[in-house]
Amino acid sequence: MAQETPMIKQYNKIKAEYEDAFLFFRLGDFYELFFDDAIKAAQELEITLTKRGSKNEKDIPMCGVPYHSSEQYISTLIEKGYKIAICEQVEDPKTAKGVVKREVIQLITPGTVMEGKAIQAKENNFIAALYPFEDQTAAFVKADLTTGETAAALLTASPSNWEREITRADLKELIVPPGFNEEAIQSSVLFSTEAADELSSEFEHLCDELNSDKLKKAAALLTNYFKRTQKRSLSHLQRITLYHPQEYMQLDLHSRRNLELTESLREKKKKGSLLWLMDHTVTAMGGRLAKKWVEEPLLNVKQITKRQSLVETFLEHYFEREELRERLRHVYDLERLAGKTSYGNVNARELAQLKRSLNELPALFSLLQRVHNDYANELINQASDFQDLRDLLEASLTDDPPISITEGGIIKEGYNEELDRYKEASRDGKSWISNLEQQERAETGIKSLKVGFNKVFGYYIEVTKPNIPYLPEGRYERKQTLTNAERFITPELKEKESLILGAEQNSTELEYELFIDVREKVKQYIQAIQQTAQIISVIDVLQGFAYISEQNQYVRPEFSNDRTLSIEEGRHPVVEHMLEQGEYVANNINMHKHREMLLITGPNMAGKSTYMRQAALIAVMAQTGCFVPAQAATLPVFDQIFTRIGAADDLASGQSTFMVEMLETKHALSHATPESLILLDEIGRGTSTYDGMALAQAIVEYIHHHVGAKTLFSTHYHELTALSETMSYLQNVHVRAVEEDGEIVFLHKVEEGKADRSYGIYVAKLADLPNEVLARAQTLLQQYESASVGSSTINDTTYVQEDGAVHTETAAAKEKDEPAHTSESPQQLSLFEANEEEESLSVSKNEEDIIRALKDIDVLHLSPMEAIETLYHYQRRLRS
């Protein structure tokens, strides 16, 4: 094996400390990567993979990215979930003895990135720590380094609660102690491990509001990770505030997905979600707060009412609201500007943005005072005026400074006398040089003579070679020879050059020092900036609520104390907004303490799922403080919403549609309270007809008898509609459809009572099934409809509809006139094979029995496969 060079030895030593990260190793103007890092980075970044080799190094894979454009490459790797260790030269190569000393100055991870494409303006970039305890509780602390926002909660003994907080926070990274079982959390979040040491003294002040040793353990886990990876001041981190998840409406991952709260189901994008509809904020920080509110609807009616009052005020003051929106457009992201200032990577242009933002505040707050709202006044009183800071930034920074902080052009004239003298000297020198060209042309008579400058040779006088003889002798000193010209200097030019370049260098260096001083002074205002940013965010979200309420004719909902849910002419907010043709059909929803459950029947595509979703979305909107799509609305405050809507196989974990359906239903039955809302859409459709019907009825009964939650339950099992006769809190409603000229017309109108039929063949016609199939199905349907539905016998088990319930009896039990005590579900018949019991059954029945059994079959509730199985079964019996 070839001997390592000192540089590669240094690289390997540093890399050993950061095995799970790409090591960006600084060599001159490049960050270089070696060995496996190089191979993988070249693939991910689509850059050239080369090799490094010498007498002592053989075929070392290598790739590199330019230092000045490294940010885009780092962002790409971060977006893909990688970590990057930035290794810099920490001593001057000119004075170094041997290999230049290098150290990792920062570890950039998905949860600690501060800028670049990975940071979305209207989304937080949360990183969190989860510390589990033996009693199955867990401490949870999250932070957004880009804004300084922090929060902590003590989670109860249920992994589902842990997952809910992790998914709701949309974490980019989760810090856990060594030995943590990552499989306990069903999430794609990036896991990182940190030693569970004590809380560092420099972060103790962040935990002033935490009165729990458990929470301090998680805080130590998170802040120790920051200390190890960031290696710089994090003074912008706010004190960790304690929150209680039970103070907000609980929405598990499935419910948030099914209701499309923050992203659409199909495209996984914001467009088409409730957030897309509700977010009419103007500022980035307002957008982040809007997302948080949609995911955390309130339970406290007093807080909801305060938000509603300001929304209503904004609705009543159109012109003030429009002026407010216009002023907010000039307010930059104060939270992230404060974060970058503390972090030390804010530039002059961003401080100029801060200046312009703060200059908007006096007029903005004056405007809010004019609308005369108590909540608005309460918010204004918590904000700062920043007169001193505005004066500082106005006096020190130019109006349009460059991004670079090392090339000058940042500080205004009049801010510093010494800087003004340097600039005046530079200006005077440049003025002298600009006149020099005309003077030299006049004295020499050479019209093509010109004065120029470059960074290598400085100032020069350039004369073409044919004109060299016309230069006066002894006055010009040759400086550079070109192909067609010579470049010269004069004693006077040399003197001015020294003066100009010296002044410019001194000016640039002094401007940098002055900018750093200004930045340090701004740091003193960070907490006040953060608090004011939060206030502006609230105002921005609520004016956005007023905007959409006015645009879509929403109404202010009221809240009931007697469990009343009354929505007049309610609409699905997103479907209504995206409807390109026609008019949305509004519907009423009426529920109260004597009408807790609605059993919804009607054909597919008629709008049952939309009707259910709109009830949940109206509740979410109301509890965020927004107005709602209805003519009038009175709602209870829901503590949780559970949904089982749609069929999505969890194939990755090997779970079928039916298993997912049952797991989600079980979660609702286990956690719902009388103050919850449950939406169940066609439960049982993933299994055989009778299995599904039995399960559906059992679930309805359980919710009715034991849970007591407001429930919307849609079904194609029309037999279940008879349950309303025995269940006092259950009522039937149906989505109306009519038949016109042989075609089905969906009216999308929900009315009292049960549906008379399912219109399955008409839906199949809309799906453009072959005409032969449709005609045959219609014939069979007419035959079945002419028969009465009573019982059907399959696999020696009789299913009897009685009082709206589906009961089972075995043949043996019938002979003894005793009920069967069995929990076994009937097995579906094999399509191509029959067992001995079936053969025995087939020869023991005569044709009259078969005809009677066929009459008893409810064909509308058979799946295509079940229909084929049944037909095959009876055909075999007839042939035998």
Q: Helices 35-45 and 70-79 meet at what angle, rounded to 10?
A: 90
Max mean pLDDT range (56-60, 404-408, 652-656, 707-711):
707-711
Residue 293 binned pLDDT confidence (cut-offs 50, 70, 90): very high
pLDDT tens readout for residues 24-38: 999 988 999 999 999
Cα 173 from Cα 592, distance rounded (Å): 44
Superfamily of structural domain 126-247: MutS, connector domain (3.30.420.110)
pLDDT tens readout for residues 96-142: 888 889 999 999 999 999 887 778 889 999 999 999 988 888 999 99
For the domain bounded by 6-108, which CATH number is listed? 3.40.1170.10
- Was domain 279-386+525-552 assigned CATH 1.10.1420.10? yes
Residue 762 binned pLDDT confidence (cut-offs 50, 70, 90): low
- 417-519 fold: MutS, DNA mismatch repair protein; Chain A, domain 3 (1.10.1420)
Element (H, E) at 775: helix 771-785
Tokens matching residue 228: 């190890």
Residue 560 binned pLDDT confidence (cut-offs 50, 70, 90): very high
Mean pLDDT of 534-543: 98
Measure Cα distances from 166 to 126, 224, 269, 482, 861 in Å.
10, 20, 19, 67, 41
Cα pseudo-dihedral 178, 182, 188, 190, rounded to 10: 10
Measure Cα distances from 20 to 15, 131, 623 in Å.
9, 22, 43
Residue from 641, 715, 650, 569 nearest 258 by CA: 641
Residue 404, classed as helix, strand or coil, is coil
> Is 279-386+525-552 in the same CATH topology as 126-247?
no
Residue 631, by phi and psi: left (phi above 0), alpha (psi -120 to 50) or beta? alpha
Residue 430 binned pLDDT confidence (cut-offs 50, 70, 90): confident
Binding-site sequence positions: 602-609
Q: Which long-range contacts (CB under 8 A, 24 or more apart) does 65-71 make?
A: 65/24, 65/30, 65/31, 66/29, 66/30, 66/31, 67/26, 67/29, 67/30, 67/31, 68/29, 70/24, 70/31, 71/115, 71/116
pLDDT greater than 60 at residue 688: yes
pLDDT value for 776: 74
Count Cβ atoms within 10 A of the Cβ of residue 398 and give its class: 0-12 exposed, 13-18 middle, 19 or more buried: middle
- Each domain of the chain, given as residue ranges in start order, spans 6-108, 126-247, 279-386+525-552, 417-519, 558-766, 771-879
Tokens matching residue 626: 């927004």
Pairing of strands 250-251, 791-794: unpaired
Residue 153 binned pLDDT confidence (cut-offs 50, 70, 90): very high
Architecture category of domain 558-766 in CATH: 3-Layer(aba) Sandwich (3.40)
The beta strand positions in 59-133, using DSSP E, are 60-66, 84-89, 102-108, 126-132
Please tell me the pTM assigned to this model: 0.81
pLDDT value for 495: 84
- Tokens 């955390």 label which residue? 296
pLDDT tens readout for residues 309-320: 999 999 999 999
Residue 507, classed as helix, strand or coil, is helix
Specify the DSSP class assigned to residue 116.
Answer: S
Cβ(141)–Cβ(186) below 8 Å: no
Of the ranges 118-122, 395-399, 462-466, which one carries the lowest mean pLDDT score? 118-122
Residue 391, classed as helix, strand or coil, is helix
Max mean pLDDT range (250-264, 422-436, 513-527, 594-608):
513-527
pLDDT value for 687: 67
pLDDT greater than 90 at residue 163: no
pLDDT greater than 90 at residue 708: yes
Residue from 102, 93, 209 nearest 153 by CA: 209
- Give the side-chain half-sphere CA count within 13 A for 870: 21
Cα 452 from Cα 462, distance rounded (Å): 7
pLDDT value for 597: 95
Binding-site sequence positions for ATP: 602-609
Tokens matching residue 43: 């693939």
Specify the DSSP class assigned to residue 566.
Answer: E
Instruction: Write the single-letter amino acid at 425.
Output: A
Measure Cα distances from 124 to 27, 287, 330, 411 in Å.
34, 10, 21, 33
